[in-house]
Structure 1
Amino acid sequence: MNSDIEKDEQYGWVVSQEEAGERLDKWLLQQLDDPAYSRTQVQEWIKSGAVTVNQITVKSNYKTNASDQIELELPEPESLEIEAEDIPLDVLYEDADVIVINKIRGMVVHPAVGHRSGTVVNALLHHCKDLSGINGVMRPGIVHRIDKDTSGLMMAAKNDLAHLSLTNQLKEHTVIRKYIAIVHGNISHHTGTIDAPIGRDQADRKKFVVTDKNSKHAITHFAVIERLGDYSVVELQLETGRTHQIRVHMKYIGHPLVGDPQYGLAKAKGLQFKGQALHAVAIGFVHPRSEEKLLFDSELPADMKYLLQQLRSR
């Protein structure tokens, strides 16, 4: 569940004045904010009685009212067993509470439909044995995600104390999250801030767009660190952490990421890059137990170094 959602109690939300009048199934899908869930799945939950509005079951086409208290009791997953798999992990830091890894491009973070194995969670279960259980059996230890085709640093919690601490730091925007991206176009200004709300694309629910409708506040800061003709290398820092935020924001200002299969250009003028050219280069947070400030960084992966070499040689 999204940590930024206002909750009265576990799996509960209160409809705001701005959200009133939306169909229940559509509204609930927006709150879940996870491509793993479909509108059909949400409608099945509503039909089965797993969703209540003011403690009463309703239909999917129910129109929300301001101050409605909506509760969801998620049914148990079809399989409670997520198998531990002996998958190599690039571990930068680990103790009894947290682990920081450098995720490779192409690796999914947690199991979902179509990705039951080979994920970061499968690898963590083998490596750590114990992970926090707050996010349930499908996402143990996961406090934040990076996209499948984005590489770089992410943290995970090994117990509930750590999970709650890291989640709160994310909610309060105190976690440092920096990325390096290679984008199309020569960005004229050296630095900038993109403050534009992001919501699900009404035409394609797997994508997100800058929109004022059913959206969430999103802020990305950027600085140009190198200009390479028709391309720019930028450092980006997230203030908020919305799904696909960097990819959507860079497309919004006319500089989509090289190789991005969803938000990029159809062809990158002869460049070959699998996935978006985006790497989570740094992550920093306060340790949940010792309260020590920790900061980790990583080098660009080989595929992005090669891409830069191609661009610099032009």
Structure 2
Amino acid sequence: MENIVYTIDEKNQGGRLDKFVSTTMELSRKRVKDLLDQNQIQVNGKVEKASYSLQIQDQVSITLPPLQEVTIEPEAMNLDILYEDSDLLVINKPKGLVVHPAPGHTSNTLVNGLLYHCKDLSGINGEMRPGIVHRIDKDTSGLLIVCKNDKAHQAISQQLSDKTCHRDYLAIVHHPFSHSHGTINAPIGRDEKDRQKMAVTAKNSKDAVTHFTVLKNFKDFAYIRCSLETGRTHQIRVHMQYIGHPIAGDPKYSYKKTLDTNGQLLHACHIEFIHPTTKEKMTFDAPLDPIFKEILGRLEREESV
């Protein structure tokens, strides 16, 4: 059993216990509920309800059951590994590759390739997501941190929660901008009309903040760089739709008539974090996906204003 303890500070005072554990450890609400039901989450040595209001200096203890034997089959893949050591890997994920298995889709994912490449992966996120501390969508390309042990996983999760892990994305969106930069501060939750989508909503939502800079305007599109302050599901895709600049090629959140791109033109181009063991600042950049690069080049030739 892996036991992890957090001390509550002023920033998290007054928050719900279940929300704190979910956000801090990047665990799904269902997994947190299961841990609470199994009395694997305690506060100051006592079992509390999910709605317990956290107080300064509370000791939140999370006991993670040992990872079940993974039934997902390893698969040989040509992974683009930018960095690897005994604690973690940094991967440049190609467009079109699903990150982790799901019921009914247990093959040809990044996790299958990771299991073939290395046997040791963190178990905090369960047997379907070994090593996965954060994720990007199937048709989003770019950088991912993969953790090999639970200590590294916890450290990177904490940095994501503390907003000290910096992630930047490049995107091509519909419509040029009249300003050079902006910040979108709008909560994101499940779309009540379509459970497969997320939306800006006040109901059952989480705070979400995206900063963006316009790199170049075109006649009908814009090339932008986004910086995540939070990491909600589909955050950039939802936020850009919300302000009227949906990402080109996005099948969920863009227009029916958009660029033919086989998915959204969104690329995780840059990541910065502190190494969990050496405490060294790690910085990585990934070149554009070939489809993204080709379309950007075409816009620069044909549509630049």
CA contact 2:88–2:146 (8 Å) conserved in 1? yes
One-letter amino acid of the counterpart of residue 224, structure 1: V
CA contact 1:220–1:237 (8 Å) conserved in 2? yes
Cα distance in 2 for partners of 1:7, 1:264 equals 42
Matched, 1:265 2:265: no
Matched, 1:245 2:235: yes
Matched, 1:32 2:22: no
Matched, 1:177 2:167: yes
Q: Secondary structure at the match of 2:244?
A: coil
TM-score, structure 1 normalization: 0.77
Residue of 195, 200, 203 corresponding to 2:185: 195
Matched, 1:207 2:197: yes
Using the aligned pairs only, state the percent identity. Answer: 52
Structure 2 residue ranges without an equivalent (≥5)? 1-5, 9-13, 20-26, 40-48, 54-62
Matched, 1:277 2:273: no
One-letter amino acid of the counterpart of residue 311, structure 1: L
Cα distance in 2 for partners of 1:295, 1:138 equals 28
Which residue in the other structure is 1:288 paired with?
276
What is the CA-CA distance between 1:310 and the residue it aligns to? 2.3
Q: Secondary structure at the match of 2:213?
A: strand
Residue deviations 1:68-94, cap 9 Å, x none? 9xxxx9999998411111011000001
TM-score, structure 2 normalization: 0.79
Residue of 132, 135, 156 corresponding to 1:166: 156
Aligned length: 268
Cα distance in 2 for partners of 1:130, 1:305 equals 34
Which residue in the other structure is 2:107 paired with?
117
CA contact 1:258–1:277 (8 Å) conserved in 2? yes
Residue deviations 1:236-267, cap 9 Å, x none? 00000000000000000000000001001101
Cα distance in 2 for partners of 1:114, 1:247 equals 26
One-letter amino acid of the counterpart of residue 281, structure 1: C
Which residue in the other structure is 1:308 paired with?
296
Q: Secondary structure at the match of 1:168?
A: helix
One-letter amino acid of the counterpart of residue 87, structure 2: D
Cα distance in 2 for partners of 1:159, 1:65 equals 27
What is the CA-CA distance between 1:226 and the residue it aligns to? 0.7
Structure 1 residue ranges without an equivalent (≥5)? 1-5, 9-13, 20-30, 53-63
Root-mean-square deviation (CA, aligned residues, Å) is 3.2
